Structure 1
Amino acid sequence: MEKLEKMDMKINHLTSLVQSITGNRLSLPQMDVAEEEESGVFPLASIADLDMLEEKLAEKGFMQRMVNRLSLSGGPNMKKTVWRICFKVFTTDVARQLNWCGRGGKKGLGKTNFGALLISSAIRNPVLLSPTEAEAEKFVKDFLRLAPGRI
């Protein structure tokens, strides 16, 4: 019975992978002017850039396009997924000025649209069997906490 359950979970997982892959191939829209402008957003070079992006993320359509763009980073597990997204989004200097809660004179991401963007993008990875917000949040915190050690 346990083997059947495991097999069923694997089949469901593979089915979702196939559906996401075929869905992505069939519906690749042409980039319009707005999307071309969005492609130059990352990596964020300063906290001012982050603040400007935070304002834009209040618009639901823009937020969804950014989630779609960042979710393509993928990874075999949640840690790799989150770290790939964060390396794409932040320069090391910006990451050093951030943390999740906003303690120590740093800017906090936890209750911002930008924090929600990072979490939503990581959770959309179809390879992950059961992604959780808590797991994604943990790895974002780790990425930011370890930023001062990067060159």
Structure 2
Amino acid sequence: MYAVVTLQDSDEVMVVASHWLSSDKTQSYWPPFKSTEMCMEAVLNRLNPETGGKPWEKLNIIFHKEHGDFDKAIEIKKKIKEEKEKWSFLVPTTTGFPGILKRQKLENNQAMIQPLPPSPIPSTSRMPANDKEELLHMLRDIKSTVQKNSSMLKKLLKDNTASEAPSSSTSFPTRGVKTSLNLPLRTFEDVERIERELNSAASRKKYIKYLSGLGGFGDKDVIKNIMQQVLIDDLAKEFNWLGRGEKRPLSQLILADVIREAALKSKVTRVDCETEIKKYLSYKADRLGRKRPREQGGLGPEIFNVASSSPMDNQPKKEVYWNILRSEKNF
């Protein structure tokens, strides 16, 4: 489900995932991404409202409607924005309430001439139902002006305090923690060392905390970030999940359990975690496997050392060399 809401801080009509709303529908989580495209993707995919285990900030909202289809919700959003523009004389601005204040001033000037009704708001008895509903929404906007200014001030103070405060130990791993873990692993000896280290529950907890804090957008990104911190590429290509062929089995290592638990804290299920690990290891093996022959077939020292004591012996090797260059160019 998708919800159409007005963000009170900016007075913008937006579409959000329905499960981002609070139970009373007065607040909504909002993604911290600076890119508009990433925010829209987060809404469309209805991501869990957190990054690296840290919940997103909640914003005060005015709830309008819900719909199960994203495109329909966008259409509702456009209609509400059009209605807002139609009733723009009632929308509060940073300088006050221009539409209402202008009308009140006119009424005060005419007060000595003839009495006027006490309320400046036109009667709704003859208004269509849709217009009444939108008028009520606008009035709620007016009522929320003080809350809006207060929220903006609190947000500015919060951002300023956060920028001055040291990083929390529960948010992202510090550089000191990363160094003490001696990651990424570079050799099989490093793998044996970490396996011995992970026999300790305290060590496992430390590694899980670090790896789960790496975060990522989606299952693939989370696993990629973890695997890049755990294994260098040259070591990763020596593993596959079950140890088929001449590869070593990652699934039999305690390290695999640590990776799964860290991924689970980033909302990646055990099955999805294993699937993405298999894809990652396969990709590294294929990529390095294609890269190495091309490097060896390039302008390496073995190509240049084609000279021999006999010019006749040297001629076929030169032809091979030029053929390789032609094939590389055509490729």
* Shorter-chain TM-score tier: 0.7 to 0.9
Higher Rg = 2
Over 3 Å counting, the alpha-carbon distance change for 1:27 and 1:82 in structure 2 is closer
TM-score under structure 2 normalisation?
Answer: 0.37
Instruction: Note the 1:25-44 alignment, pairs <5 A.
Output: 25=168, 27=170, 35=177, 38-39=180-181, 41-44=182-185
**Aligned residue pairs: how many?**
136
Partner of 1:139: 276
Over 3 Å counting, the alpha-carbon distance change for 1:137 and 1:11 in structure 2 is farther
Post-superposition CA distance 1:63-110 (Å, at most 9, x none): 010010111111010100000111111111100111110111211111
Post-superposition CA distance 1:111-147 (Å, at most 9, x none): 321111111112212xx4xx31000110011111111
Alignment check: 8 A CA contact 2:263 2:269 kept:
no
Q: Distance in 2 between matches of 1:18 and 1:98?
A: 35
Secondary structure at the counterpart of residue 55 of structure 2: helix
Partner of 1:10: 20
| Greater relative CO (CA pairs within 8 A, separation 6+) | 1
1:71 aligns with 2:212: yes
Matched residue type, 2:49 = L
Structure 1's unaligned 5+ residue stretches are none
Structure 2's unaligned 5+ residue stretches are 4-16, 23-47, 57-166, 292-331
1:83 aligns with 2:187: no
Q: Distance in 1 between matches of 2:251 and 2:222?
A: 18
Over 3 Å counting, the alpha-carbon distance change for 1:102 and 1:11 in structure 2 is farther
CA apart distance, 1:27:
5.0
Over 3 Å counting, the alpha-carbon distance change for 1:121 and 1:90 in structure 2 is same
Q: Which structure features the higher share of helix residues?
A: 1
Q: Distance in 1 between matches of 2:170 and 2:284?
A: 37
Instruction: Note the 1:50-129 alignment, pairs <5 A.
Output: 50-125=191-266, 128=267
Q: Distance in 1 between matches of 2:273 and 2:169?
A: 29
Q: Which structure features the higher share of strand residues?
A: 2
Q: Distance in 2 between matches of 1:36 and 1:75?
A: 18
Matched residue type, 1:18 = P
Matched residue type, 1:120 = E
Q: Distance in 2 between matches of 1:100 and 1:85?
A: 15
Q: Distance in 2 between matches of 1:53 and 1:94?
A: 14
Secondary structure at the counterpart of residue 103 of structure 1: coil
Q: Distance in 1 between matches of 2:227 and 2:284?
A: 11
Q: Alpha carbon RMSD of aligned pairs, Å?
A: 2.9
CA apart distance, 1:14:
3.3
Q: Distance in 1 between matches of 2:233 and 2:169?
A: 36
TM-score under structure 1 normalisation?
Answer: 0.75
Alignment check: 8 A CA contact 2:211 2:262 kept:
yes
Q: Distance in 2 between matches of 1:44 and 1:61?
A: 19
Q: Which moved more, 1:136-145 or 1:106-115?
A: 106-115
Alignment check: 8 A CA contact 2:197 2:203 kept:
yes
